[in-house]
Amino acid sequence: MAKNPFSAKMASVNPFNLSDSEEEADRRPNETVDTQKSPSDGAPGPSPGNPFSPPADTEPRTLLLSSNRTSPSGEGSGSGSGSTAATSAMAATAETRISVDGIAAQLIRDQYILTALEFHTELLEAGRELPRLRDYFSNPGNFERQSGTPPAKDQVLGPGGPMHRAGSISTLDSLDFARYSDDGNRESDERVAVLEFELRKAKETIQALRANLTQAAESEGPSQERKNFKSSPEIQEPIRPLEKRALNFLVNEYLLKNECKLSSITFSDENDDQDFELWDDVGLNTPKPPDLLMLYRNCGAPLPSPQDMVNVSVGVEFADLPGNCTAQEPPKKLDLSPNSTALVEYRSSGAAEQGDCYLLSFLFLFPWWCCRKLSPAFQQALLSFCRTCSDSRLGAEVSRIADSEESVLLMLGRCLPHIVPNVLLAKREELIPLILCTACLHPEPKERDQLLHILFNLIKRPDDEQRQMILTGCVAFARHVGPTRVEAELLPQCWEQINHKYPERRLLVAESCGALAPYLPKEIRSSLVLSMLQQMLAEDKADMVREAVIKSLGIIMGYIDDSDKYSQGFELMLLSLGDPSERVVGAVHQVFIPAFAAWTTELGTLQSSLIPSLLARIEKLLMQGEHVLDEHKLHMFLSGLQSLIPPLFAVVLQNAPFTSRAKLNGEIPTIEVTRFPRPASPLQDVATIIGSREMLSALLLLYDYQLEHEGTTGWDSLLWVVNQLLPQLIEIVGRINVTSSTCVHEFSRFFWRLCRTFGKIFTNTKVKPQFQEILRLSEENVDTSTGNDILTKATVPIYATGVLTCYNQDEDRKLLVGFLEDVMTTLSLSHAPLDSLKAAFVELGANPVYHELLLTVLWYGVVHTSALVRCTAARMFELCSFSMLLEIIIRPDFFFLLLQYFQSY
């Protein structure tokens, strides 16, 4: 086993005894670890006084700290006089201690980096710091070399100089110490753990050393001297080391960038104590400032306020500076020449910290834009010929250049109120981005309120495009500032203009309430905003304003979530349905009712409350108006009920037994264009309510199959339509006065839309049987002696025109013709009034599509064997429209029909 080179005479020689002072190494240069040539063979060998040379009794494979080895010859082992002298010297110096700096130098020389780092850590923990190790580990250049290439002899750090850097950069944090260890196995867990610990300790040490080095560089110079400079500003404070190194680096960088290479070389030679290729050499924790060109253009970091920004080329009076119109009294003259007292005071006051020191250093580096000996009076008189204006508001604003984001906003807040009135009305929307940006970011609430007031009053009577721009700005503002500020800043602007004399401004308010609805707190949506719109709906006389109110109310209904507001929403629907303006009523059907129905669907009250409430009002209206029916109210309620058909059908589909089986994968047939009636708006499109046309198509396939093959068992939503809604509607129809063409037309349209929406299978299997059961028009049930009372009601024309005309195939047309012929026969033979048949003829005759069908029914009556039936057919000619009469005239049997008509009288 190899002996430890430090084991010889360990009792008397302790190489790690740290009681020596650092100066001891300097006093004993003969004890350094420099290698010398062997006098015997010229080979490198240990010096005679080297404490690291092995004793004579060491084995040949002794581990040495030095990278040099003794001569392999016997002469180096101890023969001859030289060996005897070395042995004597070793014995004489047995009690001599090895220098700490010598140990460090030998470890660094032989690249035992981890050992040196561990040695350095132990010294620090013991309260001693070795300059050699501190300097070595604090310099990143010592750890830069080509990856995988061992350091050359002249590239390592010896006692005389630093390691030269190679092209590839590597620091202590990323150095692979495993390459330089003499242990061949680096994959053992124990060695990995040791290396991780050493690396962690190294990182901590480096960070601490960096901070200490920068702090030491910044604080060089006696503090008492700086105090003297502060107390005596007329005395120039000498440049500090950190400032000098920073300025040197920037100057050298400037020279290189501008192709002054010879000057750069000369400058580097004159400052050979600084590395101009690495900023870390200036200060490890000091950020690099902008280059000299940027310092020249921007004057370094901005000064504290716009009032402090002056022209440093001349001394001027502060009262005459632009932008200082509001100063109470002018300060004394400020001179910022490079050697001025003011600059010295500013620099020594502590304000010239990291950012400002760059500016001050630059001022001293380039003495100015200042060698003239003009008197202040002459300078001021000379400047008076400059045609500037700083004694007015606008002159002050122009002179006071903004130097930060906040100052720009403050400037805009001051200037915009004066700019807006001077811009053409047709172009004022161009100001909206500036107003909004300033209102969003301005720090003063009063200024923000003023700017928003300007926004809402930007144009006296804004047109559609201008209102859209303003609303877009309001929405952008709301997105940016959030619900709280929208409530506190935007809504008051709306409230102030709710009774403005110009309808365009009130229209802007109504539209703003809807546009801002998604960005308001929910409590405000269902209280303040709802009340504002309700007031405008009841009081505003302009149709376009009430129309906008209805649309905004619809948007509110799309976001409201307070179930207590359901009754208020229902009353708003009835109030708006009764509005005298068609524009307002149209907006109700397009926006408000679909949005309100969607909310009631979520609440589960569409079938249980909303539709039954409308039916109850219709029944009450019919009971009160047995003689004089309020047709306007009937139309109002029935049209509202008609607009609820699409959401009702969507509820039926979404609550069907097959809903979970609807899949969108595979081929799904497209929906026929004529499958549904044309919706009044996209909100009444069933596909929009469901979510997509693909999902609706998939549900319709399952819907038709369920009705045709599996029935309605367990389908509560559809059973409610079949067992409650349809019977109630048919009963209401039976109480309508058949002579009211308006009521017949309204109910016909309602049933036509209901049957078209729910489909042909539903119409044939659920709707028609309930009507046929009441009308009893099968041939065996036709009674020629007594009239069927139901045939004289509005049920006949509504069933004929609202149900039997839903589909126009041959079997459907035959069913309609047969029904009208049976009604004509029954009413004629029973001497019953013909009002129901006439109502059916009038309603069908309004559509040219049914002219041929009606002529077929008339021909049936003309050729009937009963004179009563022929007489009824003749009277039906009185109801024919002019276009229908033209079609009759050109028929070859016209004269026969005409003869029958006269014979009937």
Quote the pLDDT of residue 405: 79
User: Scanning the structure block, which residue is given the tokens 């309603």?
Assistant: 843
* pLDDT-wise least confident of 394-403, 521-530, 538-547, 548-557: 394-403
| Contacts (Cβ under 8 Å, ≥6 apart) of 753 | 642, 645, 677
* pLDDT-wise least confident of 4-8, 558-562, 718-722, 876-880: 4-8
Average pLDDT over residues 861-875: 85
373 closest CA partner among 315, 310, 311: 315
Contact assessment for residue 865 and residue 829, using Cβ atoms and an 8 Å cutoff:
no
Structure tokens given for 135:
């300097």
Q: Is the pLDDT of residue 362 over 90?
A: no
Q: Which percentage of the chain shows pLDDT scores above 90?
A: 30
Contact assessment for residue 342 and residue 336, using Cβ atoms and an 8 Å cutoff:
yes
Structure tokens given for 866:
């009963």
Quote the pLDDT of residue 328: 39
Contact assessment for residue 85 and residue 75, using Cβ atoms and an 8 Å cutoff:
no
Quote the pLDDT of residue 22: 42
Structure tokens given for 708:
């045709």
Quote the pLDDT of residue 605: 94
248 closest CA partner among 277, 222, 287, 205: 277
Average pLDDT over residues 891-905: 61
User: According to the per-residue pLDDT averaged within each range, which of 200-209, 434-443, 662-671 is highest?
Assistant: 434-443
Residue 710 sits at φ, ψ, to 5 deg, of: -115, -10
458 closest CA partner among 492, 490, 488, 419: 419
Average pLDDT over residues 736-757: 91
Average pLDDT over residues 471-491: 91
- Give the model confidence (pLDDT) of 108-143 as tens digits: 999 999 899 989 998 988 888 889 998 898 887 787
Residue 208 sits at φ, ψ, to 5 deg, of: -65, -40
Contact assessment for residue 396 and residue 325, using Cβ atoms and an 8 Å cutoff:
yes
In this structure, is the dihedral angle defined by the CA atoms of residues 859, 861, 865 and 870, taken in order, positive or negative? negative
Distance CA 654, CA 689 (A): 10
Q: Is the pLDDT of residue 368 over 70?
A: no
Question: How many other CB atoms sit within 10 Å of the CB of residue 321?
Answer: 21
Cα–Cα distances in angstroms (integers) from residue 293 to residues 254, 373, 405, 449, in the given order: 8, 28, 23, 43
User: According to the per-residue pLDDT averaged within each range, which of 46-50, 240-244, 444-448, 585-589 is highest?
Assistant: 585-589
Bridge partner residues of 158 (DSSP): 161
The pLDDT confidence band at residue 277, using thresholds 50, 70 and 90, is confident
Beta strand spans in 364-433 (E): none
| Contacts (Cβ under 8 Å, ≥6 apart) of 164 | 154, 155
Average pLDDT over residues 831-857: 88
Distance CA 414, CA 408 (A): 10
* pLDDT-wise least confident of 36-45, 735-744, 851-860: 36-45
Q: Kindly state the DSSP code that residue 331 receives in the 8-state scheme.
A: P
3-state secondary structure 214-268: HHHHHCCCCHHHHHHHHHCCCCCCCCCHHHHHHHHHHHHHHHHHCCCHHHHHHHH
Quote the pLDDT of residue 779: 44
Average pLDDT over residues 648-658: 94
Distance CA 517, CA 528 (A): 11
Contacts of range 408-413, beta carbons closer than 8 Å, 24 or more positions apart: 409/438, 409/441, 409/442, 409/443, 410/442, 410/443, 412/437, 412/438, 412/442, 413/438, 413/442, 413/444, 413/447, 413/450, 413/451
Average pLDDT over residues 559-568: 90
Quote the pLDDT of residue 265: 85
Q: Is 63 helix (H, G, I), strand (E, B) or coil?
A: coil
Residue type, 648: L
Tell me the Ramachandran region of residue 490: left when phi exceeds 0, alpha when psi lies from -120 to 50, beta otherwise.
alpha
* pLDDT-wise least confident of 223-227, 347-351, 596-600, 856-860: 347-351
The pLDDT confidence band at residue 748, using thresholds 50, 70 and 90, is very high
What is the residue-averaged pLDDT of the chain?
74
Quote the pLDDT of residue 597: 94
Quote the pLDDT of residue 218: 55
| 856 vs 591 pLDDT, higher one | 591
Average pLDDT over residues 527-555: 94
- Residue 759: exposure state from Cβ atoms within 10 A (0-12, 13-18, ≥19): buried
Average pLDDT over residues 775-798: 68
Q: Is 663 helix (H, G, I), strand (E, B) or coil?
A: coil
Distance CA 810, CA 396 (A): 87
Question: Can you give the pTM of this predicted structure?
Answer: 0.58
Q: Is 350 helix (H, G, I), strand (E, B) or coil?
A: coil
Distance CA 830, CA 784 (A): 5
278 closest CA partner among 292, 263, 268: 268
Q: Is the pLDDT of residue 822 over 50?
A: yes
Cα–Cα distances in angstroms (integers) from residue 394 to residues 20, 231, 250, 404, in the given order: 77, 42, 41, 20
- Residue 358: exposure state from Cβ atoms within 10 A (0-12, 13-18, ≥19): buried
Quote the pLDDT of residue 760: 94
Distance CA 707, CA 649 (A): 14
- Give the model confidence (pLDDT) of 208-226 as tens digits: 766 666 666 555 544 454 4
Distance CA 847, CA 842 (A): 9
- Give the model confidence (pLDDT) of 338-354 as tens digits: 444 444 444 444 444 43
User: According to the per-residue pLDDT averaged within each range, which of 234-248, 590-604, 853-867 is highest?
Assistant: 590-604
Q: Is the pLDDT of residue 699 over 90?
A: yes
The pLDDT confidence band at residue 15, using thresholds 50, 70 and 90, is very low
Reported as type and span, the H/E element at residue 114 is helix 113-125
